[in-house]
Structure 1
Amino acid sequence: MRPARWLGFIAATTIFAAQLTTPAAASTDCPATVDDKAFPSAAKLRDLNATVAGFGVRATGSPAHNRLISWLERRVSHLPGMSVRSERIPIQRWQPGPGLLLSGGAVPVASAIPYSALGLRSGELIALPLGTPITAANSRGKVVLRSFPPVDRGYLAEPVLDRDMTDAGIAGAAGVVVALPFPHDQVRGYWDPHTGTHYRVPGVFIGSDAAARLQVGTRTTIGVLAARLPAVTRSLIATLPGQSSERIVIDTNTDGVGWVQENGTVGLLALAEHFARLPLRCRPRTVEFVFATAHLHRSSEGSEVRARALDADYDKGSVAFAFVLEHLGTREFLPVNGSLQPTGAAELSGWFAGSPALAQAAAVALAGRAVDRTFVLPGSDLPVPGRVPPQCSFGGIGTHFHSHLVPTMAMISGPWTLWAPSFGAEAVDHERMRRQVLAAGDAILALAPVPRDQIAGPYLDFRRARAAGAPTCSHDLPPAWAPRK
């Protein structure tokens, strides 16, 4: 969802509110909120985030990604009471390499478009305006130059980029060049789409300064020096027993490209360490920490695999709710005179919540930790009457759990730096990240003893309606391969 539109949704939708009633606590000396003094400092969170980012580009199933997963596994395995298992997913992985562009000389390439075809191809360079479909009639055998779509935030361009790469393959184009509206140094390593769909043509991103060097009408060579090969990737599922086997599931993804995508791993580590320190009497429910794979390879999305399992388990009474953390502590960067500049404010963020009890817990936690520019919302898409749930999207991987009718909260932002790893540590305010993770922990503690049906609210009616044949959200994943011409 466009972050700039969240304010409109606040006016257009009713933010849930309800007074939580809690059963008798197992012990009166258990904390009601996370102990601020015992929680990792902002400096410690920054160090952890530096370690995660230091693995480099964690393309799904790549050696760097596997090393990160092993590092996470060692950390959580050492926590008292924690058991860890893996959920393995076979994929056709795409190992990124450099892009090449020769057009009257070498042109600097910011990055290869993820999952684009390998090898070198040549053809006349043509410029097609946005909105003009890529077809065999205008593009066969040619290298297509496109401008990056004019969007509020970069992630909103993914559907257009995906369609252009797919259409270029069907049309028999030689390749696709996408010119970003920012200089090369700011867009080095740009990574999107992250559908996991293997395209039939090579594609590259270039910065605005490099685009000025291109000469339309000249013979141009485009290339992607990457690799495709079968692999098995894995999600980590770390389980911390509580007084009940009923689970609270906290999820994020492990594959990523920088300090923002995906720093939810840092939040999950901090929360896992916090809850592992609590005595058993202070954990009314079991807590499951899911370090999911394949969000950068959404054709095999690990969070979707986990959501399907929780959907099947929910009616057995073994699941209380799910909570997803993504893109924490982000700073706002906006276009100014052809480059991205920090505004000094936090990036707008959403805390999506699908029931009154979840929304109330979110609102109280945000206020308690003074987390600004964050809005509690029931969804990021327009409601569809008669569908269960009426709003499908939680803006990210929280969508998988919510659309499977598992009571869900999801904290997410979508800054320009999400897919632009060149901004590094500058993209993240770790003091803000800390407040967000503390708020997440506070909400979990507040909800831990609340009766399951009260947490669920409308989800129980949604599940009954689905069983009776009501339409629901699509769970289709992107295709593993783009269609051929």
Structure 2
Amino acid sequence: MPIPRRGFIKGVTASLPLAAGLRATSSAAAEFRLNDLASPSKMWAELLRVNDEFGPTRLCGQPHHRRYVAYLRRQLTDILEPVGGRVFEDTFDNYPNWAATSWGLSAAGQEIPVASYFPYCTGGFTGARLPLVPATALAASGVGGGYPRADGVNVKIIPPTTSGTASVINLGTFAGTGSINWADASGKIAYVDYPVTLGSSFVTPAIYNVNETYDSGQVNQESLSIAANPTYSIQDPPDISNATNAGVLGVILGWVGISDGNAAGQYAPFEAPFSSYPQGSQKGSDPAATTGGIPALWVTEGTGTWVKDNLAGQNTEVTIALEATINQVATSTVWGILPGANYGSADDQFLVCNTHSDGPNIAEENGGIALLHVARYFARIPQSQRPRSIAFMVATGHFSHLYLGSSGDWIAQHPQIISNTVASLTIEHFGCNEWEDVETDSGLEYAATGKLEQARCYVTQPSFQLDQPGPADPALLSIVDQSLVGLLDRAAVLSGGAFSGEGGPFHRAKIPAIGYIPVPQYLVAIADDGEISKLDPEHFYDQVEFTIKCLLALQDTSAALLAG
């Protein structure tokens, strides 16, 4: 059931007086106008439509994703062009799209349950990425950044290995690259335990300044919540490439520390490259010296225990199967310009509102739908009342196994915009309810906690440091705080540490940045319903409202203040 919207909460934080001062010189358009925003039911209807019409999974370059990108372009064009805006595509040709079609595990005629497959594990691609070419003008598409067509000689697609049959060797627990002696399973199938806590050790509260927390308008009533999360396996993925090099025929990866329900469908780690040897990369490799990757599958902890107890070290033949395709396709970043009052003059400044279009479920990549509603809102404001131009950008390549650069590509291709950008706002993963593993009499059970997922709101700190705590930019912190007051949302406002997600490239480019990025435990899980059942319409609406309020304040805050 949707959680009812709350009224305005009159709580304040220490930074709100600064926000009041910033608003003293605001334009006439800076006041949030509720009637200019679509209703929660209309936003929810669009989410349902995208989830139903374009499939529950929209991974980079795959057919559902390409159709969704075309939808985003049509919608953004309909929003921006009637008010003088323009829409563009930065297209990357011949991207090596890997797609699993079927997978399974069996022994002595018995099917063994599989939780999910390891992305990009089998096959390979040896081509090197072509250079990115900056756009010729501020309002123009960037080009380049694609790949050559495979010719079977200089550039090669290595066909995926569909299966391996051999006995199983238990190689122990993965503790980081180099911790497993893969050679012990040469010519065999390797079993390896993977603790869910491993990746989580890289993302801890200690690396952040926690400036404030919010929950339904209540300030600082809870701490930053970072539970062990299978998504964090991207921080320390199993080195399947080294298993390929050692002659292993396949790898069974056993989750340790999460429930069966939580493990189901986890598309982790989504940032791993092709597991060929050498690993696939944008630099390419020698076709004659590259060995294609091998099948790798995830199983639950219970299944892993059964494999260790009944198959490992025995003479029983086990078959690991993973059928996949590798096809070269085009994929595009869609973006548009909404002109501000000074557009086309030397005095114009830009804000960037960005997200990504690809992902395994509607929770992961619904930022594009939110961005459309934000763009509609600002398109209704007369151009003379928009102090700054806004670039709305939906990047491809978030799930491209590192073959594309996502938002980083767009930054490299559009220096004319970036040089005039005074702040960016990244939005991802809106509307999420919190689900966690809870202890029951029968063990861990994956269930809703009854709370909203706590968003991590990253705020640039002036020296743009990473991986250690640091104070937030005062103006950005004030804008975030003022925008969160009175909303349903639950958030922790962070600075320093790791600026995760699509906002990271802007932070690294030293652009004052806000990144609003919840990280639920189902963030990268593939599910039949696209995880739509774990989202809340009112929560999604509130996070769109938060985005608009932040952009309104960013429109009216001086570049000097935004820069700290």
Query: TM-score by structure 1 length?
Result: 0.81
Change (3 A) 1:250 1:134: same
Q: Who is 1:467 aligned against?
A: none
Q: Give the structure with the higher percent helix.
A: 1
**Rounded Cα–Cα distance in structure 2 between residues aligned with 1:352 and 1:213:** 42
**Match in the other structure for 1:330:** 432
Count of residues paired in the alignment: 425
1:48 to 46, 49, 73: 46
Q: Given the superposition, is the C-alpha separation of residues 131 and 113 from structure 1 closer, same or farther in structure 2, using an over 3 Å criterion?
A: closer
Q: Report the alpha carbon displacement of residue 167 of structure 1 after superposing the two structures with TM.
A: 2.7
Q: CA separation in 2, counterparts of 1:247 and 1:313?
A: 7
Q: Aligned pair in 2 of structure 1 residues 145, 242: CA closer, same or farther (>3 Å)?
A: same
Give 1:411 shift: 0.2
5+ long unaligned stretches in structure 2: 1-13, 123-159, 198-227, 276-292, 344-348, 461-472
Q: Is the Cα–Cα contact under 8 Å of residues 294 and 301 in structure 1 kept in the other structure?
A: yes
Does residue 421 (structure 1) correspond to residue 526 (structure 2)? The answer is: yes
In structure 1, what is the Cα distance between the partners aligned to 2:363 and 2:501?
A: 14
Structure 2 residue corresponding to 1:127, chosen from 159, 170, 178: 170
Q: CA deviation at 1:166?
A: 2.8
Asked if structure 2 preserves the Cα contact closer than 8 Å seen for 1:22 and 1:451, the reply is: no
The whole-number CA distance in structure 2 between the counterparts of 1:166 and 1:45 is 43
- In structure 2, relative to structure 1, the CA distance for the partners of 1:395 and 1:164 (3 Å cut) is same
User: Separation in 1 of the partners of 2:512 and 2:548?
Assistant: 17
Structure 1 gap segments, 5+ residues each: 1-13, 382-392, 458-485
Is 1:438 aligned to 2:545, yes or no?
Answer: yes
SS in 1 for 2:245: helix
Mapped pair 1:339 → 2:445: yes
Counterpart CA distance in 2 for 1:363 and 1:240 is 26
> 1:120, 1:222 within 8 Å by CA — same for their partners in 2?
yes
Q: CA contact under 8 A between 2:262 and 2:437: conserved in structure 1?
A: no
Following TM superposition, by how much is the alpha carbon of 1:309 offset from its aligned partner in structure 2, in angstroms?
A: 4.3
TM-superposed deviation, 1:32: 1.4
1:405 aligns with 2:499: no
Cα RMSD of the aligned pairs, angstroms, is 2.4
Compared with structure 1, are the counterparts of its residues 257 and 53 closer, same or farther at alpha carbon in structure 2 (3 Å cutoff)?
farther
Q: Is the 8 A contact 1:311 1:406 kept in 2?
A: no
Deviations 1:129-150 (A, max 9, x none): 2246232432212222233423
Query: Considering only CA atoms, is the larger Rg found in Structure 1 or Structure 2?
Result: 2
Give 1:368 shift: 3.4
Task: Pick closer, same or farther for the CA change 1:16–1:173 going to 2, 3 Å.
Answer: farther
Distance 1:40 1:187 in 2: 36
Q: Which residue of 2 aligns with 1:239?
A: 337
Shift of 1:22: 5.8
Instruction: Output the amino acid matched with 2:64.
Output: A
Deviation at 1:301, TM superposition (A): 2.2
1:378 maps onto 2:495 in alignment: yes
Asked if structure 2 preserves the Cα contact closer than 8 Å seen for 1:16 and 1:356, the reply is no
Q: How does 1:47-126 map to 2 (within 5 A)?
A: 47-54=45-52, 55-56=54-55, 57-79=57-79, 80-81=82-83, 82-90=85-93, 91-104=95-108, 105-117=110-122, 118=160, 119-126=162-169
* Counterpart residue type for residue 58 of structure 1: R
Instruction: Write the deviation string for residues 436-479 of structure 1: whole angstroms up to 9, x where unpaired.
Output: 1101110110110222222122xxxxxxxxxxxxxxxxxxxxxx
Alignment of 1:333-372 (within 5 A): 333-336=435-438, 337-354=443-460, 355-372=473-490
Which of the numbers 193, 198, 202 marks the counterpart of 2:295?
A: 202
The 10-residue stretch of structure 1 (342-351 or 184-193) with the greater mean CA deviation from structure 2? 184-193
Deviations 1:78-102 (A, max 9, x none): 1132321101124211123221212
Letter in 1 for 2:39: S
Q: Per-residue deviation at 1:183?
A: 6.2
Cα 1:453/1:116, change in 2 over 3 Å? same
- Cα distance in structure 2, aligned partners of 1:40 and 1:208: 44
In structure 1, what is the Cα distance between the partners aligned to 2:267 and 2:17? 38
CA distance in 2, matches of 1:220, 1:16: 62
The equivalent residue for 2:279 is: none
Counterpart of 2:429 in structure 1: which amino acid? H
Per the normalisation by structure 2, the TM-score is 0.70
The corresponding residue for 1:386 is none
The residue aligned with 2:249 is 174
Cα-to-partner distance string for 1:318-363 (whole Å, 9 max, x where unaligned)? 2121111111121111112333111111122211111221111001
Q: How many Å separate the matches in 2 of 1:407 and 1:243?
A: 22
Q: Where do residues 129-168 of structure 1 align in structure 2 (5 Å cutoff)? A: 129-131=172-174, 133-151=179-197, 152-160=228-236, 162-168=237-243
- Cα shift at 1:23: 8.0
Q: Please tell me whether the aligned partners of residues 136 and 173 of structure 1 are also in contact (alpha carbons under 8 angstroms).
A: yes
